[in-house]
Structures are given as C-alpha cells and as structure tokens.
Chains A and B, each alone.
Chain A
Amino acid sequence: DAGVIQSPRHEVTEMGQEVTLRCKPISGHNSLFWYRQTMMRGLELLIYFNNNVPIDDSGMPEDRFSAKMPNASFSTLKIQPSEPRDSAVYFCASSSSQGGNTEAFFGQGTRLTVV
C-alpha cells in the first residue's frame, strides 16, 4: 500500500480564498483523522471519522472549517474563507480498529500558507 496520500503537498493562497485539502487513507482503514500542526499549538485534532461518519468535530476551530468523507477512500478538509492564522501543516492519518490495534499512519502533510 502507498500509505496515506495527501494533496497538495504545499498550498499558498490569498486571504479570503477557499482552500481544499485532500486525503486518501490506507485501504481497509476505517478511521480517519485530520490534524493541524503549528509551533504555537502543537498537534491539534480537528476532526475524526469512523466508518465515514464524523465522530468528533470539537477541534474544528470555527465555521470556516468543514470536513467530509463521502466514501471510505477519500476525505476533504475545506477552509472558506481562509485567513493568515490558518497557516499550518495539516496532516491526515488513518487507522484500523480491526484486531484491536488502532495505530495511526500519517500522510506527508499539506503545508498551507495564507498570505
């Protein structure tokens, strides 16, 4: 398996624009996590899905952020409108609860810069 695949790897956008980050989890994994990493706040869990259903979105900073998982092999994180304080590295991770081992595997991340 190619692992968790995120796109784009880098995104530079102007304030006010819509940004969509994409994630393809590892095939067969049934949990998917979106994290944001900044120097100030570390790794923050934004939202996670179990079997394509959002379980906990309490980490989503505000209404400008939304996430979807229309099927088991694809998820998006959208920011609209984007602001400079959204600049961060966004990671997607997936895991499997089969067999009790929920080790999460991370994608390479999307480095977002909002100017």
Chain B
Amino acid sequence: ELKVEQNPLFLSMQEGKNYTIYCNYSTTSDRLYWYRQDPGKSLESLFVLLSNGAVKQEGRLMASLDTKARLSTLHITAAVHDLSATYFCAVSIYNQGGKLIFGQGTELSVKP
C-alpha cells in the first residue's frame, strides 16, 4: 500500500527565514505533486515533478524530486506572510490508473 508522509506537520517560521518541507513515499511512483491549500479553500496545484532530479521553482518556493530515495522537498526561501497555508505532497501510480495519494499536509505559519 502506498504511503506518503510529510514532515514537519506544523511549521512556524519568521519572515525572511528559509526552511524545507520533506515528503517521503513508500513505493515506486510516476510523478509527484505539491499543492497549496488556504484555510477554507480548495487545493491549488503548485508543482508537478516527473522524473528523478527534477527541480522546479516558482517565486520563493522550490521543489525537487529524488526518486531513488523516494523523497521530495519543498524549499521556502525568505518566507513571507503570504506563504502561510497548508502544503500537501501527492504521489500517483500510473499502473493503478493514476491513483493519487496525499500526504498529511504541512501547516505553515509565517510570522512577522
């Protein structure tokens, strides 16, 4: 059974600091996704990582994928308050029809 685990689950940061969220998964996957969810809102896609060594960046967020270690990271650079949200990683399994399993989420709070 595919398991996806994130850590930390809660993260309180000061503005301007850097931090990394980790996402481990238990079995071979085709692709890995990062999503953002604001309180009371839906999930918004941030990144799609398709292959080993893939790195994508958008603003202060950078995501990377190591398929051999079954690990993805979401790195936050010089955090700002607007980044406060819950971040989810998700993994899909192509030969299971694209079954998409989510991690527990990391609740990020950026304080002035």
Residues of A within 8 A of B (CB): 31, 33, 35, 42-43, 45, 48, 50, 55-56, 91, 93, 95, 97, 100-109
With contacts A31-B97, A48-B99, A95-B98 known, is A102 near B105, CB below 8 A?
no
- CA–CA, A55 to B31, complex, Å? 19
With contacts A43-B88, A43-B105 known, is A104 near B96, CB below 8 A?
no
Main secondary structure of the interface of A (DSSP, over half): strand
Chain B residues within 8 Å of A109, by CB: 42
Chain B residues within 8 Å of A31, by CB: 97-98
Q: Is B101 touching A103 in the complex (CB atoms < 8 A)?
A: no
Residues of B within 8 A of A (CB): 30-31, 33, 35, 41-45, 48, 50, 88, 90, 92, 94, 96-102, 104-105
The contact of A106 among B43, B48, B94, B101, by CB within 8 Å, is B43
Q: Is A43 touching B48 in the complex (CB atoms < 8 A)?
A: no
Q: Is A91 touching B42 in the complex (CB atoms < 8 A)?
A: yes
- CA–CA, A85 to B81, complex, Å? 34
With contacts A101-B48, A103-B33, A104-B33 known, is A48 near B102, CB below 8 A?
no
